[in-house]
Amino acid sequence: MTRPVPWIIAAALLALPFFYHEAYPLHILVLILIWSFAYTSWSIMGCFGLVSFGHGGFLGIGAYVTALLWNYLHLTPWLGIPLSMLAAAVVALLIGYPCFRLRITGHYIALLTLALSAIGLQIVTATRDITGGSLGYTPERYHGGSSIYALQFLDKTTWYLIALGIWAAGLLIRYAIDRSMVRYALEAIAEDEDAASAAGVHVTVEKLKITVLSAMMTAFAGAIYCQYQLFISPDTVSGIGVSLQMVFAAVVGGLNVPLGPTVGAAVTILLTETLRISFGTAAIGWDNIVYGVLLVSFIIFLPQGLLGSLLPRFIAAGARPA
């Protein structure tokens, strides 16, 4: 029998914007849902031991390619977003194939992907005449404000429903991976690449599959974030800081739990907003410092993340006889 609780929660989430109309809380919820999708895209690699610090680069590709195609070629985001995802897939292949073919693993691949974030940040900053550099970049507003063609909406309710659908799609992708043969192949690779290869697993191909999928999902998240905010900058959608934020959120929420990235997104967004409201411009950059400190703390004391550590205790408590 299907449990009613998930359906009740889904109905409540769908109904929320029709009964609650406060703009700022809805804005925070939209950000949490969009970033949850981005963090989920990182976690589908990270949970198999493929630690990437380059996803800030993929996020930037999605955001900037979509915005530049719109501003310079007036290409609708409905075409610009798939093209940005394709660009991210090409970059993932160019970086992933030699790494996996040469069996570069562990902290070496982490350093290589870290370079991707740094390079992406430098490219955006150096091409300031095109991208706006460190001052940021604004997609042109469509006449009238809201437009399906331009994927621009003034109404928070519309964006909330879009973000909710994207978040649900991310969970479904994670669910499909967890129940596919790809999961078993990647788990075998994470345990012992030689043994997995001897058992018939094509190590390079399987790693590339999950890397390309993760990169495309991250680029999609970056493009949607750009369309929602209608402003992007290297600090928000590219660079090492963004990559660190993605790792932090996935680890804090629970890397091996499907809803872990969602919990991580809530923590990061609320932390950032709290620092911004409490300290204003004096707190610029503090979030990255806090992320680093908390990341080390969680790795030491709660390696399974909040959900991964607390859920078993709740389940055990509920199963305990009265």
- State how far the Cα of 148 lies from the Cα of 134, in Å rounded to an integer: 29
pLDDT of residue 281: 63
> HSE-up of 139 (CA within 13 Å, CB side)?
31
pLDDT of residue 25: 92
| pLDDT tens figures, 202-213 | 999 999 999 999
Residue indicated by tokens 């889904």? 10
The residue extents of the domains of the chain are: 22-238
Query: Span 264-287, mean pLDDT?
Result: 77
| pLDDT tens figures, 124-151 | 988 999 999 888 999 999 886 789 999 9
Confidence of residue 309 (pLDDT cuts 50, 70, 90): low
Quick one: tokens of 6?
């998930």
Alpha-helical (H) ranges within the chain are 4-19, 23-46, 55-73, 77-101, 107-126, 128-131, 156-178, 181-191, 193-198, 203-229, 234-237, 240-253, 260-279, 286-301, 305-319
Give the Å distances, CA to CA, from 283 to 272, 273, 287, 289, 307. 9, 10, 8, 10, 28
- State how far the Cα of 154 lies from the Cα of 168, in Å rounded to an integer: 22
Could you report how far apart the first and last alpha carbons of the chain are, in Å? 25
Query: Span 161-185, mean pLDDT?
Result: 94
Confidence of residue 109 (pLDDT cuts 50, 70, 90): confident
Query: Span 155-177, mean pLDDT?
Result: 95
> Are 244 and 291 within 8 A, CB to CB?
yes
Rg of the chain over all Cα atoms, to the nearest angstrom:
20
pLDDT of residue 211: 95
Confidence of residue 247 (pLDDT cuts 50, 70, 90): confident
pLDDT of residue 317: 46
Q: Is the dihedral of CA 316, 319, 321, 322 positive or negative?
A: positive
Confidence of residue 162 (pLDDT cuts 50, 70, 90): very high
Give the Å distances, CA to CA, from 1 to 62, 287, 319. 41, 44, 19
pLDDT of residue 111: 81
Residue 76 pLDDT > 90? yes
pLDDT of residue 316: 44
Q: What is the mean pLDDT of the chain?
A: 86
- State how far the Cα of 172 lies from the Cα of 192, in Å rounded to an integer: 28
pLDDT of residue 177: 94
- State how far the Cα of 126 lies from the Cα of 138, in Å rounded to an integer: 17
Confidence of residue 190 (pLDDT cuts 50, 70, 90): confident
Decide which of 302 and 210 is more confident: 210
pLDDT of residue 218: 96
Quick one: tokens of 93?
């292949």
> Are 262 and 277 within 8 A, CB to CB?
no
Percent of the chain with pLDDT over 90: 44
138: nearest Cα among 235, 234, 31, 232: 232
User: Interior CA angle at 36 toward 33 and 42, to 5°?
Assistant: 155
Decide which of 157 and 6 is more confident: 157
Residue 55 pLDDT > 50? yes
Confidence of residue 294 (pLDDT cuts 50, 70, 90): confident
